[in-house]
Amino acid sequence: MRTSVKVYGGGMSRCCEQQRSDSYGLELLSTKPPCLSNRSEITHGTYDMAVVQVRRAWWTGPREGTTLMTENAWRLVLLLLVSAWCCGCAQGPRDLSRMRAPYNQAIQSTSAEQMLQNLVRLKYRESPEFLAVTAIASQSTYNGGGSVGVSLPEAALSMLTLGASASYSERPTFTFQSRDDPEFQRGLLEPIPLSTIALVTQTGWATDRVQRLTIKNINGVDNATSAGGPTPADKPEFEKFQRAAYLMRELQQKRWVELATVKSEELLIKKQDTNFLGIPWEQVSTEEIALLKDRGYSVRPVAEHPELAEFYRTTGDLSLRFHPLAWTTPEAVELARLLEVKPFQDAYVVKNSTSEEGQLGRIILRRDGDYRTEMQLLVTPRSVLEMMYYLAQAVPAPPEHLNANWMTTTRDVTGAVFDWNQLTAGLFQVHVCADCPPPDVASVAVPYKGYWYYIANNDLTSKATFSLLQEIYNIEVRGGDKGIPFIIGS
């Protein structure tokens, strides 16, 4: 007597056929047979796995003394086969779980290495280059096979043979793009908006770190403007600005100063004239009214002096607000003196001096002199490339490279060599060594011209500043990217 039990994969069905023979055969198929007259659909729990039950078929005239394998034995063998057949069905989620973290780590580390390498290039007066990973595709292939043979004599189980084979291969494919398009270059060169400076400040970054990196001038107080380009031969001015940034950080830590967006009324007053009350109406021309109206200003009589006119507008601007208790401290008074603003005020409007509004607020040409808005901070922001140049000044110069004039030597007014660590102290520092630093020493390291340049793993200040630079780069330059397509196939 022979019974063939066939297990079909697609529909989780079973079909039993019966013939006369001396052994039992077991076959695993991948397609349905042409006829499934005695089938039934079987599912098992949430795993959707067929539990095949083989029932003893009825026939007439069996050979005397023939012994059948028990139903439990058949269930065990068939369940093992079905499990082996289904093991490859869940490889997609397994591939994602296995690949996502390593690819994420690789993208993060290589992006940091690319940025540090560009900082080193700028120190050597070489052009930066950005290579974007635009797509990642990984194709996984699984091959497997197996065989089971069961031979039964007249009475009992005599021999069981098993065989299996498996193979795996992975073919990752990466797509790169050189970022030399005009839109990308414009993003590097254009000054960042004040809204970005406010965003990173309001999300927890220290105000002195943000100001030193992103701003090159506040109310004429210079923050090493020349350091935003190739290394200059003369020492830049920055001490007064750094002192102002430090004082603002002290007030920020006490929660006595904040950068916020508030509605305010902006007035135009005469520059350098603290007694200015308004403009005589006969000196106000229709051309001037039209010019200022295009910029959002209106004209009205001064409340207590109706014979005088004043220009005003209501705006929702960035404002540096002070707590009343802040003016009881010497830090706030010194900050107002350094930035040349009137002290003991609740708030100061922050304007971008490079914008049309900033230029209007700073200088308005009139017949009777120059005018500017009262109690405001005129800020000149840096571009992303200027920030990179600024931090690149911290890259140390090996002596032989200086002697070979591969780097610029900067000197102060006395002719002494200027140490750029004075500019970036407490903000950013890069180390150089002849050999590759170990991973526990370097957070990120790149080789260049026979040396290794790296940021120390225990230098949290430099790591934070480097992270801030990358964050602003992602906002202002990579903001138009739609991300990296990651395709996994198996």
Average pLDDT over residues 116-143: 84
Q: What angle do CA 398, 404, 409 make, to 5 degrees?
A: 65
Check pLDDT > 90 for residue 355.
no
Residue 164 confidence (pLDDT): 57
Maximum distance among all Cα pairs of the chain, rounded to whole angstroms: 130
In the chain, the percentage of residues whose pLDDT exceeds 70 is 64
Check pLDDT > 80 for residue 131.
yes
CA distance 115 to 471: 12
DSSP conformation class of 265: E
Residue 487 confidence (pLDDT): 53
Contact of 29 with 6, CB cutoff 8 Å = yes
Residue 442 confidence (pLDDT): 92
Give helix then strand counts, H and E, for the chain.
13, 19
Check pLDDT > 80 for residue 302.
yes
The contacts of residue 328 (CB under 8 Å, 6+ apart) are: none
> pLDDT grade, residue 272 (50/70/90)?
very low
> pLDDT grade, residue 96 (50/70/90)?
low
CA distance 402 to 392: 15
Task: List alpha helices for 215-295, DSSP H.
Answer: 239-253, 286-294
365, with CB counted inside 10 A (0-12, 13-18, 19+), is exposed
Strands 279-280 and 305-322: antiparallel
More confident residue, 283 or 176: 283
How far, rounded to the nearest angstrom, does the alpha carbon of residue 144 sit from its chain's CA centroid? 41
> Tens of pLDDT along 9-22?
343 333 333 343 33
Average pLDDT over residues 65-74: 48
Check pLDDT > 60 for residue 199.
yes
More confident residue, 33 or 277: 277
Residue 365 confidence (pLDDT): 34
Average pLDDT over residues 445-467: 95
Residue 479 confidence (pLDDT): 57
Residue 229 confidence (pLDDT): 95
Residue 463 confidence (pLDDT): 96
Check pLDDT > 90 for residue 102.
no
Contact of 348 with 319, CB cutoff 8 Å = yes
Check pLDDT > 90 for residue 226.
yes
Ramachandran category for residue 220: left, alpha or beta (phi over 0 → left; psi -120 to 50 → alpha): left
CA distance 100 to 172: 13
Contact of 322 with 346, CB cutoff 8 Å = yes
More confident residue, 24 or 348: 348
CA distance 20 to 481: 70
> pLDDT grade, residue 162 (50/70/90)?
low
Residue 160 confidence (pLDDT): 53
Enumerate the β-bridge partners of residue 383.
191
Residue 91 confidence (pLDDT): 59
- Considering Cα of 249, then 255, then 257, then 260, what sign does the dihedral take? positive
Buried b (16+ CB within 10 A) or exposed e, 24-33: bebebeeeee
More confident residue, 109 or 166: 109
Check pLDDT > 70 for residue 86.
no
462, two tokens: 């430099």
DSSP conformation class of 415: S
How many alpha carbons lie under 13 Å from residue 384 in its C-beta half-sphere?
24
In the chain, the percentage of residues whose pLDDT exceeds 90 is 38
CA distance 32 to 17: 14
Check pLDDT > 80 for residue 85.
no
Contact of 38 with 60, CB cutoff 8 Å = no
More confident residue, 36 or 204: 204
52, two tokens: 């095949």
* Best CA proximity match to 207, nearest among 176, 234, 161, 242: 242
Residue 251 confidence (pLDDT): 94
The contacts of residue 100 (CB under 8 Å, 6+ apart) are: none
What are the strands of the beta sheet with 451-456, ordered from one edge? 431-433, 451-456, 442-448
CA distance 321 to 378: 15
Check pLDDT > 50 for residue 301.
yes
DSSP conformation class of 409: P
Check pLDDT > 60 for residue 208.
yes
> pLDDT grade, residue 197 (50/70/90)?
very high
The contacts of residue 286 (CB under 8 Å, 6+ apart) are: none
Contact of 430 with 455, CB cutoff 8 Å = yes
Average pLDDT over residues 364-374: 39
More confident residue, 475 or 76: 475
Check pLDDT > 60 for residue 66.
no
Average pLDDT, the chain: 75
Ramachandran category for residue 436: left, alpha or beta (phi over 0 → left; psi -120 to 50 → alpha): beta
Among 246-255, 309-318, 439-448, the least confident range: 309-318
CA distance 449 to 401: 9
Contact of 91 with 140, CB cutoff 8 Å = yes
DSSP conformation class of 59: -
Residue 134 confidence (pLDDT): 74
Check pLDDT > 80 for residue 36.
no
> pLDDT grade, residue 68 (50/70/90)?
very low
DSSP conformation class of 209: H
Cβ atoms within 10 Å of 482's Cβ, excluding its own: 6
The contacts of residue 300 (CB under 8 Å, 6+ apart) are: 309, 310, 312
